[in-house]
Amino acid sequence: MEQQYNLKQRNAGFYAFFISGICAISSGIIVSLLQEQIGFDYGTTGTLLALMNIGNLLAGFATGALPGKIGMKKTVVLLTAGYGIGYGIMGITGWVPALMAAFFLAGMGKGSTINTCTILIGDNSRDRTKGMNLMHSCYAFGALLCPFLISAVAAVSGKLPMLVLGMLGVTLWMAFVLTPMAGSKKGEKQKTDWSFLKNKKFWLLTGLIFCQNAVEISVTGWMVTYFKGSGILNGSLSAYTVTVMWTATLLLRMMYAFVCPIKKAGRAMIVMGIFCTVFYFGMMQAQTQVMAIVLLFAFAAAMAGMNPTAVASAGRMTSVTSMGIMLPAASSGAILMPWLIGLVSEKAGIAAGMTCVLIPCVGMLLFSLAVSRLKEE
């Protein structure tokens, strides 16, 4: 009976993270569609995307703090409603203040879903590393399908993509509504364990995931601009760089989950860190289309297992509270690095800006080395 209960939680996590892959990756495409339809400026575009990131960060912290007061079930049901409500608003109005609220809510849905799925799957997987890689495979599959789904429904109506994403968000929310989770009884306060804050490994893993997020979001957000600006890839071909990345990511995560399970996480992360740095450096030197695409695929493959393996390495420290600190803190790398690239690119050119990504690449390697030196829990 208990095993069936755990499987229900785990399967809900897999489904929710697949839907989150579609909804989260769509934000850049959706804001572009809205810009075309409504005609707002680039400043508004940046504000909308920034509000989504703020919602993501705040939801991550809230997912860690609220369960001790209202229980995990109510926390998850409250926060993950953001996807459905947010995209629903985008589909029915073009009023900018409402869109700002919508992007913030979608970000709340994203942040709370990441934390919730990490707990549900991590706590119910015999092999945590395999479970995390399979979970992130679901996300990669959703991310891979996203542009094709939006293109298909956008051909019918300009507002339909937002409404379809809203409906998908509702199915994600319903998956959590129908899944048994821990709640809090009336008058009973759940004790929160903060001991992980004194654990050196927790902060090293947070630093590692900070660097990984900085690299991944910088490459997915800026690589198209870099390839187009440098003349390496033409406009139509450069648009498929994200597809190349997510294809490599999906294949490698599935391989880690089913074909070649990771046995020694520390050693594996060191190898990933080395290859990420080498392939990214090579990508910056690429002069032909074929070499650029091959190295991009190799780079994405090298980085594919880093995040799920690092999260799985937290071991017994994994809880709604610890993930509510680790994941939002680490996701700040996804905000700071793209901003730094823009700053450097403005002053010294796009090539110099993209070269800065080598810093978090090396950071991943250094944090991996530090983690591997610690005793296994």
Ranges of residues in the chain whose predicted pLDDT is under 50: 1-5, 184-188, 377
Q: Give CA separation, 289 vs 233, 237, 283, 286, in Å.
A: 6, 9, 11, 8
pLDDT of amino acid 314 = 82
Do residues 114 and 13 touch, judged by C-beta distance below 8 A?
A: no
Do residues 111 and 59 touch, judged by C-beta distance below 8 A?
A: yes
| Encoded tokens for 158 | 């300009």
Spatial distance between the Cα atoms of 71 and 189, rounded to a whole number of angstroms:
9
pLDDT of amino acid 192 = 67
Identify the CATH number of the domain defined by range 2-177. 1.20.1250.20
Identify the CATH number of the domain defined by range 195-372. 1.20.1250.20
The model's pLDDT over 264-297, given as tens digits with 9 standing for 90+, comes to 889 999 999 999 999 999 999 988 888 999 999 9
- CA nearest neighbour of 209 among 42, 360, 53: 360
CB proximity list for 153: less than 8 A, separation 6 or greater:
160, 161, 164
The model's pLDDT over 229-264, given as tens digits with 9 standing for 90+, comes to 778 877 566 667 878 888 999 999 999 988 888 888
| The model's pTM | 0.84
pLDDT of amino acid 187 = 44
The model's pLDDT over 28-65, given as tens digits with 9 standing for 90+, comes to 789 888 988 898 776 788 788 888 888 988 998 898 88
Domain residue ranges of the chain, discontinuous segments joined by +? 2-177, 195-372
